[in-house]
């Protein structure tokens, strides 16, 4: 068969396959790579312009049929995701940051910022170099949660971020007058995110944890399109309403091709410090069950405890003390997150899957 079919013939035939995502044939769009002709097969890599497009299945089928019509006994197609221009330029914005983790929620009031701050602290105590970026320009709270003892400085035209508990921090709270409202449209938000990434001296980091505003707005979209995110963590309470709204955030990240690293159930239960009685004020296990139903990882549960509120208000994250139940809970969640980031990386490395 190899004497009858050449790679040039395969390439020419594939010009008859058009990808509706790009509006061009897959050859001229540069989506066909590594054509190989064997004795009984033809193989090549098909780069998908939009890996989540529902038309991809039809695209693969058309490519197999048109090459099969040349007389190939077997057509083997490997799929690869095309790196977006935003992701490529984003990598150059923070070249020395290994992993970027977005902490998100479907709605406000679930303790997302508190979780993000304590998650960063727990990662740092596990021995990693960590940065914490507060992207919630409408309600920036990270400096308060982390103590806010230092202010950013400008060094050689770039922002030197304050360091609290060994963690580099940036937030709009450092640059706005107290109690001033932010009323910005998409372009201004996008510019701020870009500056927080490219104009801050992050240096070498193992993890850059990003506290996102609640919901599915412009900042989430800008961040996902600016840098290649390692993944997103979704924070929810056990309540059905919170979980329903959280599912919308999950759907958004999936559309943006951002891996979902797992769910965290905050305010999971309360243990009375006097009698030890456990009470599940908002229910319990809802996030774990939702993760199972959606095929996602469950990273852990954080108790509802007044000390978390008191320590947060005083700028002392509870994750600093691992001897407490809540401190240990954050350490366990951080350890689970590290495992999920590693798993997501392995899956990305193996994303080219043969289709028989």
Q: Tell which phi-psi region holds residue 217, choosing left (phi > 0), alpha (psi between -120 and 50) or beta.
A: beta
Neighbours of 112 (CB within 10 A): 26
Of 82, 114, 138, which one is at a domain's C-terminal end?
Answer: 82
Same domain, 65 and 174: no
Average pLDDT, the chain: 83
Please give the pLDDT value at position 125. Answer: 92
**Residue 340 contacts by C-beta under 8 Å, 6 or more apart in sequence?**
231, 261, 262, 297, 299
Same domain, 30 and 157: no
Strands annotated E in 68-187: 75-81, 97-104, 130-134, 153-155, 158-160, 163-164, 167-171
Please give the pLDDT value at position 278. Answer: 73
Same domain, 35 and 144: no
Please give the pLDDT value at position 161. Answer: 95
Residue 353 reports pLDDT greater than 50: no
Same domain, 114 and 31: no
Domain span at residue 100 reads 87-349
Instruction: Assess if residue 356 is contained within a domain.
Output: no
Same domain, 76 and 103: no
Of 47, 82, 117, which one is at a domain's C-terminal end?
Answer: 82
Tell me how far apart the alpha carbons of residues 17 and 19 are, in angstroms, rounded to a whole number: 7
Same domain, 241 and 193: yes
Please give the pLDDT value at position 130. Answer: 97
Please give the pLDDT value at position 50. Answer: 64
Same domain, 143 and 34: no
Same domain, 285 and 344: yes
Instruction: Assess if residue 355 is contained within a domain.
Output: no
Instruction: Assess if residue 199 is contained within a domain.
Output: yes
Tens of pLDDT, residues 208-252: 999 998 776 678 888 887 888 999 999 988 875 556 777 888 888
CATH for 58: 3.30.300.130
CATH for 131: 3.40.50.300
Tens of pLDDT, residues 95-153: 899 999 999 987 778 889 999 999 999 999 999 999 999 988 777 889 999 998 888 99
Same domain, 15 and 136: no
Same domain, 182 and 273: yes
Instruction: Assess if residue 206 is contained within a domain.
Output: yes
Of 35, 51, 82, which one is at a domain's C-terminal end?
Answer: 82
Please give the pLDDT value at position 350. Answer: 56
Tens of pLDDT, residues 1-41: 445 788 889 999 999 998 876 667 888 878 898 888 888 88
* Residue from 305, 306, 269, 308 nearest 285 by CA: 269
Tell me how far apart the alpha carbons of residues 88 and 108 are, in angstroms, rounded to a whole number: 32
Tell me how far apart the alpha carbons of residues 289 and 192 are, in angstroms, rounded to a whole number: 37
What DSSP designation does 19 have? Answer: E
Tens of pLDDT, residues 154-206: 988 899 999 999 999 999 888 876 666 555 555 777 788 888 898 999 999 99
Same domain, 39 and 187: no
Same domain, 315 and 277: yes
Number of structural domains in the chain: 2
Q: For residue 34, give the 3-state DSSP assignment.
A: strand
Asked if residues 340 and 332 have their Cβ atoms less than 8 Å apart, the reply is no
């Amino acid at each position: 068969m190899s004497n009858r079919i050449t790679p040039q013939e395969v390439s020419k035939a594939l010009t008859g396959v058009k990808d509706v995502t790009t509006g061009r044939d897959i050859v001229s769009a540069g989506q066909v790579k590594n054509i190989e002709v064997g004795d009984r097969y033809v193989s090549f890599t098909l780069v998908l312009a939009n890996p989540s497009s529902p038309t991809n299945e039809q695209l693969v089928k058309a490519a197999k049929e048109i090459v099969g019509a040349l007389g190939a006994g077997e057509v083997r197609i490997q799929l690869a995701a095309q790196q977006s221009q935003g992701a490529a330029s984003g990598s150059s914005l923070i070249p020395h940051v290994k992993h970027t983790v977005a902490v998100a929620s479907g709605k406000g009031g679930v303790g997302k910022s508190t979780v993000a701050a304590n998650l960063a602290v727990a990662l740092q105590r596990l021995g990693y170099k960590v940065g914490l970026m507060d992207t919630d320009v409408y309600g920036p709270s990270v400096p308060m949660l982390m103590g806010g003892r230092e202010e950013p400085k400008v060094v050689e035209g770039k922002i030197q971020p304050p360091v609290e508990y060994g963690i580099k921090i940036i937030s709009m709270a450092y640059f706005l007058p107290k109690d001033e409202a932010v009323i910005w449209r998409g372009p201004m938000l996008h510019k701020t995110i870009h500056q927080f990434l490219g104009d801050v001296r992050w240096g070498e980091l193992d993890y850059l944890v990003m506290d996102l505003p609640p919901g599915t707005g412009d900042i989430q979209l800008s961040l996902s399109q600016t840098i290649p995110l390692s993944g997103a963590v979704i924070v929810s309470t056990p309540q059905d309403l919170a979980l329903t709204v959280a599912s919308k955030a999950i759907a958004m990240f999936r559309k943006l091709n951002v891996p979902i690293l797992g769910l965290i159930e905050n305010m999971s239960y309360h243990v009375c410090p006097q009698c030890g009685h456990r009470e599940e004020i908002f229910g319990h296990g809802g996030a774990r069950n939702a993760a199972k139903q959606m095929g996602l990882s469950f990273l852990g549960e954080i108790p509802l405890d007044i000390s978390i509120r008191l320590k947060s208000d005083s700028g002392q994250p509870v994750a600093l003390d691992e001897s407490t139940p809540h401190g240990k809970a954050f350490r366990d969640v951080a350890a689970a997150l590290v495992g999920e980031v590693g798993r997501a990386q392995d899956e990305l490395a193996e994303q080219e899957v043969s289709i028989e």
